[in-house]
């Protein structure tokens, strides 16, 4: 059971975070205007002489808005983890008997025209205009900014870890790289993203797409290489310690 729990936790966190980053890169590659504004903010806060740190995100509201908009625009899971009613319920005239399986339609909520202006348009600025990115006058009762993690007592237990991983990856990608659509196809203009760009099902993700990814400058590339080298050194250190521990354990046996 411990091994099963560990495997489920790893799979649940790794695949969903990876899917978010696929969607993030797709959205950034199609919206050079968004990328340019984010990089301008990063240059002002972080600069070009160091890589981003976790605390930097609090000084970068536009990048926070981009992350929220990626979640809203095409969430990792169209329907949240199912729940079951423990008592008979009545909601807006609908009778829901005890034991009914209930899904929260996250995709439907995030694309409701009653809540959002142009819900099929990728526009991070909406999250600078209101807390949940909703339009003026929308009824936000019961709405939360993290519906993509589920709701109730069965909300994703790894949400804080996932947010940290997403924030750091988004910061590093935007800080270190220019991401563009296939050369010559957009020429600096935003390109639309449609449902045809995504797979269908419970956990939709981007279909294979082409983009160009290159370091923003040689200075950025040098810092990335340095960080990679340091990370490899740490990995080798743990690898060596593991080998020593295994040797000692074998000797004792």
Q: Indicate the pTM of the whole model.
A: 0.81
pLDDT of residue 105: 86
pLDDT of residue 172: 95
Which residues have CB under 8 Å from 182's CB, separation 6+?
210, 211, 212
Q: Is 156 annotated as ligand-binding?
A: yes
- The sign of the dihedral angle between the CA atoms of 164, 166, 168, 171 is negative
pLDDT of residue 247: 47
Enumerate residue ranges in the chain where pLDDT < 50. Answer: 247-248
Integer CA distances (angstroms), 171 to 1, 27, 37, 56, 60, in order: 36, 15, 13, 9, 9
pLDDT of residue 61: 96
- Give the pLDDT confidence of 154-212 residue by residue, as tens digits: 777 777 778 888 999 999 999 999 998 875 555 667 787 888 888 877 777 888 888 89
């Amino acid at each position: 059971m411990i091994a099963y729990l560990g495997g489920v936790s790893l799979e649940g966190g790794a695949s969903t975070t990876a899917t978010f980053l696929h969607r993030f890169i797709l959205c950034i590659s199609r919206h050079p205007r968004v990328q340019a504004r984010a990089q301008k903010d990063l240059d002002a806060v972080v600069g070009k002489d160091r890589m981003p740190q976790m605390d930097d995100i609090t000084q970068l509201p536009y990048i926070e808005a981009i992350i929220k908009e990626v979640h809203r625009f095409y969430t990792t899971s169209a329907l949240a983890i199912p729940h079951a009613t423990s008592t008979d319920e009545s909601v807006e005239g609908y009778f829901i008997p005890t034991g009914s399986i209930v899904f929260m339609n996250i995709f439907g909520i995030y694309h409701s025209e009653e809540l959002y202006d142009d819900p099929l348009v990728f526009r991070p600025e909406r999250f600078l205009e209101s807390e949940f990115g909703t339009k003026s006058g929308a009824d936000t009762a019961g709405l939360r900014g993290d519906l993509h993690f589920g709701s109730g007592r069965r909300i994703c237990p790894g949400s804080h870890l996932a947010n940290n991983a997403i924030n750091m990856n988004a910061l590093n990608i935007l800080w270190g790289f220019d991401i563009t659509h296939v050369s010559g196809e957009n020429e600096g203009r935003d390109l639309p993203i449609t449902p045809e760009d995504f797979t269908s099902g419970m956990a939709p993700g981007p279909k294979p797409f082409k983009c160009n990814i290159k370091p923003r400058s040689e200075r950025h590339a040098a810092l990335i290489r340095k960080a990679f080298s340091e990370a490899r050194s740490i990995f080798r250190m743990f690898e060596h310690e593991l080998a020593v521990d295994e040797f000692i354990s074998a000797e004792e046996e």
